[in-house]
Structure 1
Amino acid sequence: MNEQEILQQKLDSLRSEHRDLDDVIARIGEQAPFDQLQIQRLKKRKLLLKDQIARIESRLLPDIIA
């Protein structure tokens, strides 16, 4: 497996986790009362994932264009 394939698999995994966090945050927000601290932690994790996704996409993009 080459580096590009490894990065693509990691990217797919991160995107999946990001989507899952969206679902979890939505479900928690629907419950009353909901744990604000837990939602903040999940949103922080989501931002970290978004940053990782962006970094991997920028590494893959030059290879795709070339």
Structure 2
Amino acid sequence: MQASHQAALQTKHAVLDQRLEQESQRPAPDMLMIADLKKQKLRLKQEIERI
């Protein structure tokens, strides 16, 4: 169970990373969205480290 939970968190982390990259590449990136995505990514990283 723990390994599958960690894998799911890592997948979510990768998806957030892709979304961050896409948003950053836009001509006028939404800085609020970027900040929110970074916060979500950090929370996931911290949760992954706790496992």
TM over 0.5: yes
| 1:33 alignment counterpart | 28
What value does the CA root-mean-square deviation take over the aligned residues?
Answer: 0.5
Q: Which runs of 4+ in 1 moved over 3 A?
A: none
Identity within the alignment, %: 33
Any unmatched runs of 5+ in structure 1? 1-5, 57-66
TM-score, normalised with respect to structure 2: 0.96
Any unmatched runs of 5+ in structure 2? none
1:50 matched to 2:50? The reply is no
TM-score, normalised with respect to structure 1: 0.75
Aligned pairs, number: 51
Q: Name the amino acid aligned to 2:22.
A: R
